[in-house]
Chains A and B, each alone.
Chain A
Amino acid sequence: MASVTYEHVTKRFGDVIAVNDLNIHIEDGEFLVFVGPSGCGKTTSLRLLAGLEEVTEGNIYIGDRLVNDVPPKDRDIAMVFQSYALYPHMSVYDNMAFGLRLRKVPKKEIDRRVREAARILGIEELLDRKPKQLSGGQRQRVAVGRAIVRDPAVFLMDEPLSNLDAKLRVQARAEISKLHQRLGTTFIYVTHDQVEAMTMGTRIAVLNAGVLQQLDTPQNLYDYPTNLFVAGFIGSPAMNFFDATLVERDGKVHIDTGDFIVPIPDDRQETYRPHLGKEVVFGIRPEDVHDPEYAPPGIKRAPIEAMVTVTELMGNEVIVHLETDRFEFLGRFDPRTSATVGTRMTAVFDMDRMHLFDKETEKAIR
């Protein structure tokens, strides 16, 4: 059990800056997810904590202990690798017992812990098998089991679900969340999949190009992205963006995209007024673009005329691709929608849920 602190951590590989001035404090027992596109430095951040890479600048603490120069084995951490990294010539039992044996844990204790972990993960009947005799899902459990038996202060997981098929992944996701609740240990989890990040993390750290973009709870990240990158990265399908200018009409601030002009809700008028005339990016999530007939009551509607180019029926909803002169955007419509490809329709935006970003700094305007 321990907290983890990154303090001005920078990692360079030659001229490449993989992690740039990272500052995060992770509370004891937290489930923190590092998320970002490939090459964003999330795995490097994890490996720095594991001690598999050395920090170039800054300090990393586990609990109160500065671990910069502590070798991996003495950091009291366990890691689940993307490839699982099971020892191919050892049985499942020996894979899980390996670390304990090296630490001279008494044989009886090893046996107790391995069987306990196997029971938790439902792999008791596999203990005598070799890794190559296991399915992907079973291997993933063994890898998790190998981490559990060590009873570490911090669990590190590097995309542990990326080798599983979609159905198994959903299941494994829930299992890891359950495990976190049960063990109450600090989990640090790396993924490029924002669904995993949203569903599992108590907090999420979004990284891009080695820089921490935003660190917040999943809900806040979704509702209040601090910049364009986070807004576009979190959420699927991604948020719609429109280049626009803030203009004044009848004494109120409006967003003018060139193709359409939409009003800003009253409660945000004063926030945006100082930015009148500025080039901005207007963002709205697909679920806040509605078919007017099925739009929820009470929303601040802003009608937009657009051409329907593609419709994708998902069963519970229809993803509709819409096009104005200069923009393409998506709407998640009620499946009863009458939108048909090749016709023009009027979609409505829920303006209470709009986002506005400074075009130059890409930061949210608040």
Chain B
Amino acid sequence: MKERVFRWLSRFPLHLVLIGAALVWLTPSVGLLVSSVRPYEAVIRTGWWTVLAHPFDFSQYTLQNYREILLTQGMAQAFRNSLLITIPSTIIPIGIAAFAAYAFAWMEFPGRQVIFAIVVGLLVVPLQMTLIPLLRAYNRLGLAGSYVGIWLAHTGYGLPFAVYLLRNFFGALPRDLFESAYLDGASELTAFFRLALPLSVPALASLAIFQFLWVWNDLLVALIYLGGTEEVAPLTLKLSSLINSLGQNWHLLTAAAFISMALPLVVFFSLQRYFVRGILAGSVKG
């Protein structure tokens, strides 16, 4: 008993700092959420924190903002577009990277180290450098403004990091396992699908989160390669155009912003146990 009190006390400063940091980080998001469910009149008259005076008075909340933004402002279409861009742009690069990383980690071929160094070296190339040449190539190939074009672009931008992370993860798997599989009669492909992939779920999951968030929140790449037309614009583009068209209508903007945040939150929370493990990948034995 005494020990537990002591432990709690000795950790108290740490907890205080953590709680403080969490509050600072959460406040804007909570403000956004609260504002998005308040009616227009309330939003322009008082700050969102006024609801804290009587938080359980549900008459002050409304879902009208969401209804309006989704049905009349085309947020639903933008949400669909975002999914259409993000899901393939997450799966394709990770799929390619897994194959590449396996080859870099376990297959002998000439120039392996050099090629890997070049791939990792690409991490330092700012993607802005590629915008003009790539767009010109797309225009010639007819890929500009198409989903395929943006999938390929995101794949290219995501690959170096994905290959790097996965190669390190695959490389840390015990060699004996693969040798044992070869003796058992496994081909490289079998070893990849039956050993490397199942054992790398944490790394794959954390990579998927990274790539998903990056693509979901991307404005620049989508704007350049897709253009701003309504049929293809993702949430980020839609949101920035709403700021222009709705101006002072905060109640709608906050609802729109929260819609754009919702999916990343779901993805993060559903995969977060892998995420934490993935970040620690290889640092702790076991």
Residues of A within 8 A of B (CB): 50-52, 71-73, 77-79, 81-85, 87-89, 98-99, 102-103, 146, 150
- Pairs A-B, 4 closest by C-beta atoms: A99-B184, A85-B176, A85-B180, A102-B185
B87 CB–A CB distance under 8 Å: no
Return A93 CB to nearest CB of chain B, in Å: 14
Residues of B within 8 A of A (CB): 174, 176-177, 179-186, 190, 194-195, 198-199
Taken together as a complex, chains A and B put the C-alpha atoms of A102 and B194 apart, in Å, by 11
Taken together as a complex, chains A and B put the C-alpha atoms of A50 and B179 apart, in Å, by 10
Judging by beta carbons under 8 Å apart, are B179 and A85 in contact?
yes
Judging by beta carbons under 8 Å apart, are B184 and A98 in contact?
yes
Return B145 CB to nearest CB of chain A, in Å: 43
- Set of chain B residues within 8 Å of A77, measured between Cβ atoms: 183
Judging by beta carbons under 8 Å apart, are A50 and B183 in contact?
yes
> Quick one: which of A72, A82, A83, A84 contacts B183, CB cutoff 8 A?
A72
Taken together as a complex, chains A and B put the C-alpha atoms of A71 and B185 apart, in Å, by 9
20 further A-B pairs in the complex, CB-CB below 8 A; given A72-B183, A73-B185, A88-B199: A50-B179, A50-B183, A52-B179, A52-B183, A71-B182, A73-B184, A79-B183, A81-B180, A82-B176, A85-B176, A85-B177, A85-B179, A87-B177, A87-B195, A89-B199, A98-B181, A98-B184, A98-B194, A99-B185, A103-B185
Judging by beta carbons under 8 Å apart, are A102 and B198 in contact?
no
Judging by beta carbons under 8 Å apart, are B185 and A85 in contact?
no
Question: Which chain B residue has the least Cβ–Cβ distance from A103?
Answer: B185
Judging by beta carbons under 8 Å apart, are B176 and A72 in contact?
no
Taken together as a complex, chains A and B put the C-alpha atoms of A73 and B198 apart, in Å, by 22
Judging by beta carbons under 8 Å apart, are B176 and A73 in contact?
no
Judging by beta carbons under 8 Å apart, are B182 and A72 in contact?
yes
Judging by beta carbons under 8 Å apart, are A81 and B176 in contact?
yes
A89/B185 contact (C-beta < 8 A), A52-B179, A81-B176, A102-B190 known: no
Taken together as a complex, chains A and B put the C-alpha atoms of A150 and B183 apart, in Å, by 10
Judging by beta carbons under 8 Å apart, are A83 and B186 in contact?
no
Return A47 CB to nearest CB of chain B, in Å: 8
Taken together as a complex, chains A and B put the C-alpha atoms of A103 and B174 apart, in Å, by 24
Question: Which chain B residue has the least Cβ–Cβ distance from A80?
Answer: B180
- Set of chain B residues within 8 Å of A88, measured between Cβ atoms: 199
Judging by beta carbons under 8 Å apart, are B185 and A78 in contact?
no
- Set of chain A residues within 8 Å of B174, measured between Cβ atoms: 83, 85
> Quick one: which of B179, B183, B195 contacts A78, CB cutoff 8 A?
B183
Return A319 CB to nearest CB of chain B, in Å: 38
Judging by beta carbons under 8 Å apart, are B176 and A102 in contact?
no
- Set of chain B residues within 8 Å of A73, measured between Cβ atoms: 182-186
Question: Which chain B residue has the least Cβ–Cβ distance from A82?
Answer: B176
Taken together as a complex, chains A and B put the C-alpha atoms of A146 and B185 apart, in Å, by 13
Judging by beta carbons under 8 Å apart, are B182 and A83 in contact?
no
Q: Can you list 23 A-B contacts (CB < 8 A)?
A: A51-B183, A52-B183, A71-B182, A72-B179, A72-B183, A73-B182, A73-B184, A77-B183, A79-B183, A83-B174, A84-B176, A85-B176, A85-B177, A85-B179, A87-B177, A87-B194, A88-B199, A89-B198, A98-B186, A99-B185, A102-B190, A103-B185, A146-B180
Return A216 CB to nearest CB of chain B, in Å: 29
Question: Which chain B residue has the least Cβ–Cβ distance from A94?
Answer: B194
Return A117 CB to nearest CB of chain B, in Å: 14
Judging by beta carbons under 8 Å apart, are B182 and A102 in contact?
no
Question: Which chain B residue has the least Cβ–Cβ distance from A150?
Answer: B184
Judging by beta carbons under 8 Å apart, are A102 and B184 in contact?
yes
- Set of chain A residues within 8 Å of B199, measured between Cβ atoms: 88-89
Return B234 CB to nearest CB of chain A, in Å: 37
Taken together as a complex, chains A and B put the C-alpha atoms of A102 and B184 apart, in Å, by 7
Taken together as a complex, chains A and B put the C-alpha atoms of A87 and B183 apart, in Å, by 13
Listed residue (B174, B181, B184, B195) with the most chain A CB atoms within 10 angstroms of its CB? B184
- Set of chain A residues within 8 Å of B180, measured between Cβ atoms: 79, 81, 85, 87, 146
Return A116 CB to nearest CB of chain B, in Å: 18
Return B17 CB to nearest CB of chain A, in Å: 36
Taken together as a complex, chains A and B put the C-alpha atoms of A89 and B195 apart, in Å, by 8
- Set of chain A residues within 8 Å of B179, measured between Cβ atoms: 50, 52, 72, 79, 81, 85
Return A110 CB to nearest CB of chain B, in Å: 13
Judging by beta carbons under 8 Å apart, are A83 and B176 in contact?
yes
Taken together as a complex, chains A and B put the C-alpha atoms of A88 and B177 apart, in Å, by 9
- Set of chain A residues within 8 Å of B194, measured between Cβ atoms: 87, 98
Return A106 CB to nearest CB of chain B, in Å: 15
Return B286 CB to nearest CB of chain A, in Å: 9
Return A100 CB to nearest CB of chain B, in Å: 9
- Set of chain B residues within 8 Å of A52, measured between Cβ atoms: 179, 182-183
Taken together as a complex, chains A and B put the C-alpha atoms of A78 and B185 apart, in Å, by 10
Taken together as a complex, chains A and B put the C-alpha atoms of A266 and B109 apart, in Å, by 65
> Quick one: which of A50, A81, A102 contacts B186, CB cutoff 8 A?
A102
